[in-house]
């Protein structure tokens, strides 16, 4: 009888825990609402608005104590302390200015021990001593990399690769839409470089110093390290208003890019340091719209006065490094972030201005395996939408515009929207970590687009709370079923 009593007690505990979670979820009604239509969310996901009234939030990063640090353009860096009631039930408890510097505009990183904060302006990369216990910088800024000021593309994204400790990777874009100077390696335009922080005696000169990972990269704002292999991947914003042989082809060309830049952990790669094409060569998205071009999606083509020196042959694989994947033109990818298993790369698409029909304005997932994207280089379906605007015709004014991504310690994904001054959290409705989303084989990357057809839930009304309640109710029912099963076994 003691055994039966123990089983009943165990089942009752499960039921009580499930009911408690259900009660907590039911009480987590949305406290913030957006001024635009609720986002469309892929089946199995929830998107909830957790912060607003920020000034153009761009790069975001969690410190070691769980505070979310946000780069606010024209302001500085702000720490948000979150009130966490579990899963997607989050709100901002307090805000604190960490760095008051109006020149900081995008890049942010933390050292592995969490005691050094890094950020960037159009001119330089800085570091500060940082206390995560009270979200304060405890030193004057130190200049690590300088001489990067250009016009037009002024963000300098930062990466501290885990597979190559002591190195700092910095991205730098072009100085105009079609920056002819980027063809000159000595200018430092449209390049990605790594700098050694372990033996530094003074600021590095971006143009002259550092290890070149790639050039001819027009504006690779997003950069990430694949966590298993250590491969370095970037996402690139390509040119606007493109013409080839007098024909306007800009609606669907050139494509945005996912580029592989090799490794920093000693693994050899022919990609490292190569010319990726810009400003002479570009990747096709809709190849049929490009006059006198015989390639397919992902192949590179030339523009300008085509001659014996600059032509499609000079843009082939022997002369330029093609992207690993190509995306719809003008979607403007701004961040890329891998899950811990290296099976999914999340990408923010800020959204177009250079198309009749707006494109982008969403967060998507690209499936990975063994350190590489699963889809072939000519794929047009590699990016699977998870959170998107319900009606792109309302964009850009009536839409969220994704920028930065960050994981918290619970595996929840956070996304900044600069145009609306907001932060979203993206979670899984089944309660599993968002960072566990992996492959189509396991069903954790949806096979259908989120745009207009997703059955997930959002934060702009009661849907998010209802979905959480539904998930918790399902758990309660499962616990109750277990109780009945135990009773049936006993009697």
Higher-confidence position of 360 and 22:
360
What pLDDT score was predicted for residue 76? Answer: 98
Q: Which two tokens stand for residue 247?
A: 């024909």
Got the DSSP string for 83-151? Answer: EE-STT-EEEEEEEEEEE-TT--S-EEE-TTS-EEEEE-SS-EEEEEEETTTTEE-S--EEEEE----S
Higher-confidence position of 151 and 70:
70
For residue 137, the SS3 value is: strand
- Rounded to whole angstroms, how far apart are CA atoms 414 and 70? 11
Higher-confidence position of 135 and 439:
135
What pLDDT score was predicted for residue 456? Answer: 59
Looking at the DSSP bridge assignments, the partners of residue 426 are 47, 413
Which one-letter DSSP state was computed for residue 457?
Answer: B
400 close to 38: Cβ distance less than 8 angstroms = no
- Rounded to whole angstroms, how far apart are CA atoms 15 and 328? 48
Say whether pLDDT at 75 is over 70: yes
* Residue-range domain boundaries for the chain: 1-29+462-491, 107-216
With tokens 């920056």, the residue in question is: 179
For residues 151-158, average pLDDT:
95
79 close to 67: Cβ distance less than 8 angstroms = yes
Got the DSSP string for 62-98? Answer: E-TTSPEEEEETTTEEEEEEEEE-STT-EEEEEEEEE
Q: List pLDDT tens digits, range 465-476.
A: 333 334 444 444
Lowest mean pLDDT among 90-94, 106-110, 149-153, 414-418: 149-153
Q: List pLDDT tens digits, range 238-262.
A: 999 999 989 999 999 999 999 999 9
What pLDDT score was predicted for residue 48? Answer: 95
Higher-confidence position of 441 and 82:
82
Q: List pLDDT tens digits, range 200-230.
A: 999 999 999 999 999 999 999 999 999 999 9
What pLDDT score was predicted for residue 311? Answer: 87
Q: Which two tokens stand for residue 395?
A: 């964009």
For residues 14-37, average pLDDT:
60
With tokens 């590489």, the residue in question is: 372
Say whether pLDDT at 366 is over 90: yes
For residues 135-146, average pLDDT:
95
For residue 490, the SS3 value is: helix
Residue 174 — very low, low, confident or very high, per pLDDT cuts 50/70/90? very high
Q: List pLDDT tens digits, range 380-434.
A: 999 999 999 999 999 999 999 999 999 999 999 999 999 999 999 999 988 888 8
What pLDDT score was predicted for residue 430? Answer: 87
What pLDDT score was predicted for residue 432? Answer: 86
What pLDDT score was predicted for residue 490? Answer: 45
For residues 336-355, average pLDDT:
95
Query: How far from 62 is each of 53, 57, 81, CA to CA, in Å?
Result: 19, 14, 10
- Rounded to whole angstroms, how far apart are CA atoms 148 and 204? 10
What pLDDT score was predicted for residue 441? Answer: 36
**Residue 323: in which H helix or E strand, if any?**
none
Residue 309 — very low, low, confident or very high, per pLDDT cuts 50/70/90? confident
What pLDDT score was predicted for residue 23? Answer: 43
What pLDDT score was predicted for residue 335? Answer: 99
CB atoms within 10 A of CB 136: 15
For residues 254-283, average pLDDT:
97
The number of C-alpha atoms within 13 Å of 253 and in the hemisphere containing its C-beta is: 26
What pLDDT score was predicted for residue 445? Answer: 61
What pLDDT score was predicted for residue 443? Answer: 44
What pLDDT score was predicted for residue 435? Answer: 84
Rounded to two decimals, the pTM is: 0.87
Query: How far from 92 is each of 31, 32, 49, CA to CA, in Å?
Result: 11, 11, 11
Percent pLDDT > 70 in the chain is 82
Percent pLDDT > 90 in the chain is 74
Say whether pLDDT at 462 is over 70: no
Mean pLDDT rounded to a whole number for the chain: 87
Residue 326 — very low, low, confident or very high, per pLDDT cuts 50/70/90? very high
Q: Which two tokens stand for residue 307?
A: 């001659």
173 close to 190: Cβ distance less than 8 angstroms = yes
What pLDDT score was predicted for residue 433? Answer: 87
- Rounded to whole angstroms, how far apart are CA atoms 239 and 460? 34
Q: List pLDDT tens digits, range 184-200.
A: 999 999 999 999 999 89
399 close to 36: Cβ distance less than 8 angstroms = yes
Say whether pLDDT at 288 is over 50: yes
What pLDDT score was predicted for residue 307? Answer: 76
């Amino acid at each position: 009888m003691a055994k039966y009593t123990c089983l009943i007690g165990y089942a009752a505990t499960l039921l009580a825990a499930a009911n408690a979670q259900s009660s907590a979820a039911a009480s987590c009604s949305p406290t913030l609402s957006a001024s635009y239509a609720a986002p469309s969310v892929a089946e199995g996901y929830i998107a909830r608005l957790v912060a607003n009234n920020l000034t153009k939030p761009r790069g975001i990063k969690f410190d070691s104590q769980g505070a979310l640090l946000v780069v606010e353009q024209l302001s500085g860096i702000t720490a948000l302390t979150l009130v966490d009631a579990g899963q997607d039930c989050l709100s901002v408890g307090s805000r604190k200015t960490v760095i008051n510097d109006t020149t900081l505009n995008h890049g942010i990183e933390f050292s592995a021990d969490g005691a050094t904060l890094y950020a960037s302006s159009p001119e330089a990369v800085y570091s500060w001593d940082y206390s995560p216990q009270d979200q304060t910088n405890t030193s004057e800024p130190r200049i690590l990399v300088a001489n990067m000021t250009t016009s037009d593309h002024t963000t300098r994204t930062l990466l501290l690769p885990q597979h190559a400790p002591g190195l700092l990777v910095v991205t730098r874009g072009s100085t105009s839409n079609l920056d002819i100077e980027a063809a000159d390696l000595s200018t430092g335009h449209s390049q990605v470089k790594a700098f050694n922080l372990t033996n530094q005696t003074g600021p590095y000169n971006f143009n002259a110093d550092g290890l070149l990972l790639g050039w001819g990269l027009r504006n690779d704002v997003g950069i990430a390290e694949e966590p298993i292999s250590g491969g370095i991947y970037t996402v690139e914003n390509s040119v606007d208003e493109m013409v080839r042989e007098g024909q306007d082809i800009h609606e669907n060309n050139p494509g945005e890019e996912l580029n592989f830049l090799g490794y920093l952990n000693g693994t050899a790669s022919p990609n490292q340091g190569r010319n990726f094409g810009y400003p002479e060569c570009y990747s096709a998205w809709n190849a049929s719209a490009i006059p006198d071009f015989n390639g397919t999606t992902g192949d590179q083509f030339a523009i300008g006065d085509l001659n014996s020196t600059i032509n499609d042959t000079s843009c082939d694989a022997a002369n330029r490094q093609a992207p690993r994947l190509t995306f719809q033109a003008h979607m403007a990818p701004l961040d890329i972030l891998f899950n811990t298993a290296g099976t999914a790369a999340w990408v923010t698409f800020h959204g177009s201005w250079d198309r009749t029909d707006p494109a982008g304005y969403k967060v998507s997932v690209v499936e990975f395996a063994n350190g590489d994207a699963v889809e072939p280089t000519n794929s047009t379906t590699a990016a699977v939408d998870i959170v998107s605007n319900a009606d792109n015709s309302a964009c850009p004014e009536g839409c969220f515009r994704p920028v930065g991504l960050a994981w918290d310690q619970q595996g929840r994904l956070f996304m900044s929207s600069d145009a609306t001054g907001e932060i979203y959290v993206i979670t899984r409705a089944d309660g599993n970590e968002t960072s566990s989303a992996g492959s189509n084989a396991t069903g954790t990357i949806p096979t259908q687009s989120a745009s207009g057809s997703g059955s997930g839930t959002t934060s702009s009304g009661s849907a998010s709370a209802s979905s959480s309640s539904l998930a918790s109710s399902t758990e309660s029912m499962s616990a109750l079923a277990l109780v009945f099963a135990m009773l049936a076994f006993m009697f």
